[in-house]
Amino acid sequence: MSRTSNRANGDIVHDFLSVAGLLEDPQLAHLYTYFDHEGEATVQDVIDDLEFAQGTAYTYVNRLVDTGVVKVTQEQQPRRYAAREIDLTVTAADGDREYTITPALIDAVGRREGNDDIDTYIDRHGIAGLATALTYALARERGETTHRLMAQDLDISPLAAEIILQALRPVVHDYYEIEEAGASLETIGVDERDAIDDA
């Protein structure tokens, strides 16, 4: 579901509305991420691996298929499903920022229910803010920025920047190749929360 210049405007709008549904519902985002990671899976796999109730699993899988972000890859029973590629660029309402909706962003949204730091950040800054934070998290893991620079750029506290960067770190490592640039706080024996308190 990549946005390309030769796609009709109606297709792009449909793509956006389909993806918007994922960004509004953390459970749908989590299920999309599951299919994206697994490659292919059945509804029974969803029930077993994600511990969804049977009715919920069928309802959610059908919603993802109906919106076009998941496709049926095997019609005969048991049906198999796979995630469609998502790479859609959106301009924020203020016109100043663009962000790209990718599987990494959808994964971050899917973690909202189990991660209070991501949930709080989305409540305060929205999905566009989370997308921006994810960009900073990638840059930070690559050694290209710090939490203080992010805080200054986005006019948030250094503590808030550090908290969301730490929360997004597992997402970044799941989706991007990161070369180890040096010793981590864990390696040198510093507790991460102590380091945040010092920030």
Q: What is the mean pLDDT of the chain?
A: 81
Quote the DSSP letter at residue 108.
H
Structure tokens at 135: 């960009």
Q: Write down the pLDDT at residue 155.
A: 92
What whole-number distance in Å separates Cα of residue 146 and Cα of residue 72? 42
Q: Write down the pLDDT at residue 2.
A: 40
Average pLDDT over residues 158-177: 93
List domains and CATH numbers for the chain: 9-83 (1.10.10.10), 88-184 (no CATH)
User: Quick check: 184 pLDDT over 80?
Assistant: no
Q: Locate the DSSP E strands across the chain.
A: 70-74, 80-83, 88-91, 98-101
Q: What is the pTM for the complete model shown?
A: 0.74
Structure tokens at 160: 């808030």
Dihedral (C-alpha) 35, 47, 14, 94: value to the nearest 10 degrees? -80
| Per-residue pLDDT reduced to its tens digit, 125-145 | 988 889 989 999 999 999 999
User: Quick check: 85 pLDDT over 70?
Assistant: yes
Structure tokens at 32: 């999309």
Name the percent of the chain lying above pLDDT 70: 76
Q: Radius of gyration (Cα) for the chain, nearest Å?
A: 18
